[in-house]
Every structure is written in C-alpha cells, then in structure tokens.
C-alpha cells in the first residue's frame, strides 16, 4: 500500500499512542514465567508483540488459550472521543490479558520452531528466557530478521552454560537449555536486548550476573525485576543480578510508547501544530529524543503523573514554533535515540543547516539498512542526505516532494510520511502497511489530528 501526503495540514489535538512494545515484550515474558496470577492491561496489538505472545503460547500449554486469543484479536483502530484522538493505548485496549502461570519450570518443549516474525526483540529475549529450559527450541524469523546479527546474544548465553548455535551468526537460533551460572559480561555494542537476554538467563542462574555497558541503554528490565523483588542493583552503566530467583504474579498497565509519540511530536514540529499525548511512558532512558527536538527548536513539556511497576507515566506536550535548527547527535547520545533516528532525520531534513548522527552504524542491522533507507527516502522526496562512514548526514533545507521508498521498514515508512507533511509538493510513500509492526492505526491517527494523508493503493 502507498500513502499519499498533501502538505499544508496542521497537526494538533490531544491523543494517546499504543502501549510501549519494549515494555510489553518484557512484561509478557515475565508474566508467562511468574509463579502466580498476572493481569496485563494496555498491551499494544502490534505485530512484534503478537509474535512474542504466539511464541509464549507455543511454550506453555496452560497459557495457550489466553495468549492465542489475545494474539489473534484484530488491531485497535483509532477513534475520536470528543476532541481527543485515541491511538490504541490502554484506554482502548480495554480487555486485559489474564494469565495463571506456574513458574519458569512450567515451560515445555514446543512442537515446532518458534516464529519470531520480524521481531528481533522477541528472538533475543526469548533466547535468554530459554537458556535454562530443559529442552531444545529453534527460533526463526522472516527474511529481514534472518539478516540481523545474533552472535551478540548467543556468546554470553554460551558463557553462562547454554548450548546456542546460529547460522553463520544469524537466525535460525537453536537453543538447548542447561544449568546456568552467573557471568560478568561487557557487550561490544550497547544493546538493551542483549542486556535483557542475559538478565533473563540470570534469573535462572546460580550466582551473580553482571552486565557492564559503555553507555546506558533502556532499563525496562531492571525496573521490572526490582518491582518484582529480585536482587538487582544498578550502578552507573553496570547492572548486577543475584540468582536464581522465581518471581510471583503481578499486574500492570503498559504505558504509551515514547517511540510512537516521537512521530506525533515530529508531525507537530513540522506543521507548526500543538499536541498533548497522555498516558505516556516517560522512562528517562527512552526520552532522549525529546532533548534533540528541543535543540531543534520544538517546545517540549513533560509531566510525570504516576508510576507502574517502576515505570514513570505522564503526559507530553509538544508545539512547533517556527524554523528548525540543525542539532547533531554524537556517538554517546546515539544509542539513547537509536529507534528515533529515522524520525529525527525526517525533522532534520527541514532544518536550516546540516545535522549529523555520529556512530550510527548500528542502524545497518535493523529491520532494513536504515542508513541507506533513510538516505534513499529523503533523496526520493527531493532532500539532501548522505552516509559518511558510520555517520548519517542530513543536509536540511526542506523537501520538494515525490515518491519515496520505505524498504518495507515500519520506522522508515512512518518517518517519511512525517517528513512529507512539510514538503513543498505532494508526496507518496510505499509499503506503509509496515507501520502495523509497531503503530497500528498510525495513518488514521495522523488524519484525525489534521494531516492530509490517505492510502491510495
């Protein structure tokens, strides 16, 4: 499908965004292995989270009916409630997921390979969860996922005692669980997924497990483990967990996804609009992109209004205030905005000068080669972009319009649509159905907030 964007509409209004899928993956896995009843509300019905639910259903016969029913339910479509557009956050996903698990030991050997779809988070986190399981499981994915590096998670799990094989460093990932022991590990590439896989394995390991990162990555796992009573300690960029530990049941509501909110804030910045996003997760390891937008000249206000399972939740107000300034992102900041780089690049395409994203080579190992996809997409729309070694360089100056390729990548497709909102002429972006991977109802939400966007084929 293609999206046609006619510039000129101003994005404004109050809205919600789908639940945070990074949190959802983690909460689902720990709910499925709890020793006691769990209730999760606000789970986002994105394709990636459905992949996690389906894999967990294959590993737990007792939980299968509930997980399969949730995973097969249709995505939520945004709806208007007065002046508010609801994008599929917890207030729309009114049916909670109730599970009655019996602990980590209740997982059973799957009857077939586990299909992780397009979700690298599903594959890497499940690898950690299964590292101590007394059976063999094989994790597969689609063609895009098969190209993504998996040795970075296989190496530490082997060091802990699991048998893990890859296909020349990629999926399929075959895991035979074993008795585990704690390790001290320093990842070569900062990765919250690798850190989480090690910590999930550490829950079943004898002794102490420590992960030391070069820079801090998102800390959803540490926050949840602490809320569930595990002996987890954080000192700077070092996380330490004492195992083994079996957590009990819990309940929580998944807050709105900041990475989804970034697209709304970007649309506001480029159209001179204003928005308030409520029920949003405001974890400080996820909101660094807001500081970049502020440096570009976007007015940002956040307010923490509560907490759930260690996660701060509140509201974000964003307003476009005129011309945009370039605001380069350095090597140390890049890992904190890795998922939002495509959106930030889309905004930077309209800045008054050059923006550089240094050390962005990790973008080559996402759902697409996002460095190449961003450069191609911005150039397709008449903009100035290039790759300089591991740096992404956005020339600024605006976009003329045209037809853009998204490489079938959900974040590239949504970012190019946002960029097109401020182009000088009409734009079309292909493969926009990819947005359902992380943001079901994205186009409908933008249209409801005033953007002139439609699906044309």
Catalytic residue positions, numbered: 339
What is the distance between the alpha carbons of residues 45 and 110, in angstroms, rounded to a whole number?
23
- Residues 6 or more apart from 20 whose CB is under 8 A from it? 44, 220, 254, 255, 256, 257, 258, 259, 281, 286
Q: Following DSSP, what letter does each residue of 415-450 receive, concatenated?
A: HHHHHHTT-SS-EEES-GGGGGGT-TTHHHHHHHTT
- Residues 6 or more apart from 331 whose CB is under 8 A from it? 358, 359
User: Can you tell me which residue has the tokens 């595990």?
Assistant: 230
Q: Can you read off the two tokens belonging to residue 30?
A: 């720990």
Q: CB–CB of 421/450 below 8 Å?
A: no
- Which residues are registered as beta bridge partners of 163? 176
Helix or strand (DSSP H, E) at 291: helix 288-296
Residues in the chain: 457
For residue 152, CA distances in Å to 115, 159, 265, 390 come to 20, 12, 33, 19
CA angle 289, 295, 296 (to 5 degrees): 90
Angle, helices 220-227/21-32, rounded to nearest 10 degrees: 40
For residue 198, CA distances in Å to 152, 194, 202 come to 11, 6, 6
What is the distance between the alpha carbons of residues 268 and 290, in angstroms, rounded to a whole number?
13
Q: State the first-to-last Cα distance of the chain, in angstroms, to the nearest integer.
A: 5
What is the distance between the alpha carbons of residues 372 and 122, in angstroms, rounded to a whole number?
25
Alpha helices in 73-175 (DSSP H): 120-130, 143-146, 151-160
Helix or strand (DSSP H, E) at 172: strand 170-176
């Amino acid at each position: 499908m293609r999206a046609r964007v006619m510039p000129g509409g101003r994005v404004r209004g109050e809205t919600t965004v789908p639940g945070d899928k990074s949190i959802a993956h983690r909460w689902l896995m720990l709910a499925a292995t709890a020793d006691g009843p769990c209730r999760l509300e606000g789970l986002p019905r994105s394709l990636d989270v459905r992949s996690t639910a389906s894999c967990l259903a294959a590993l737990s016969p007792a939980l299968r009916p509930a997980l399969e029913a949730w995973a097969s339910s249709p995505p939520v479509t945004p709806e208007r409630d007065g002046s508010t557009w609801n994008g599929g956050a917890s207030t729309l996903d009114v049916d909670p997921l109730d599970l009655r698990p019996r602990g980590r030991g209740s997982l059973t050997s799957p009857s077939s390979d586990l299909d992780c779809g397009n979700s690298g988070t599903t594959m890497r986190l499940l690898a950690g969860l299964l590292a101590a399981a007394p059976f063999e499981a094989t994790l597969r994915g689609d063609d895009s996922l098969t190209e993504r590096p998996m040795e970075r998670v296989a190496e530490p799990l082997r060091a802990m005692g699991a048998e893990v094989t890859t296909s020349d460093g990629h999926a399929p990932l075959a895991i035979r669980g074993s008795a585990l022991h704690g390790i001290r590990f320093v990842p070569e590439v900062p990765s919250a997924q690798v850190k989480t896989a090690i910590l999930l394995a550490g829950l079943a390991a004898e002794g102490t497990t420590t992960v030391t990162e070069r820079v801090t990555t998102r800390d959803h796992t540490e926050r949840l483990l602490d809320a569930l009573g595990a002996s987890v300690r954080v000192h700077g960029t070092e996380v330490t967990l004492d195992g083994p530990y079996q957590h009990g049941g819990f309940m929580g509501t998944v807050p709105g996804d900041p990475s989804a909110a970034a697209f709304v804030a970007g649309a506001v910045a480029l159209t001179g609009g204003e928005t308030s996003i409520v029920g949003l997760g405001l974890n400080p390891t996820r909101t660094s992109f807001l500081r970049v937008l502020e440096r570009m000249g976007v007015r940002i206000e956040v307010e923490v209004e509560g907490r759930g399972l260690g996660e701060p939740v509140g509201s974000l107000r964003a307003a476009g205030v005129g011309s945009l300034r370039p605001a380069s992102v350095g090597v140390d900041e890049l890992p904190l905005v890795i998922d939002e780089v495509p959106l930030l690049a889309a905004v930077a395409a309209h800045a008054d000068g050059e923006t550089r994203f240094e050390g962005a080579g990790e973008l080559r190992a996402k759902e697409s080669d996002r460095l190449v996809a961003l450069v191609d997409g911005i150039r397709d729309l008449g903009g100035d972009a290039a790759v300089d070694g591991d740096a992404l360089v956005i020339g600024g100056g605006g976009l003329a319009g045209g037809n853009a390729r998204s490489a079938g990548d959900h974040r590239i497709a949504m970012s190019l649509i946002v960029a097109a909102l401020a182009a000088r002429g009409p734009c079309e972006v292909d493969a926009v159905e990819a947005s359902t991977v992380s943001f079901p109802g994205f186009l409908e939400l933008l249209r409801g907030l005033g953007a002139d966007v439609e699906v044309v084929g």
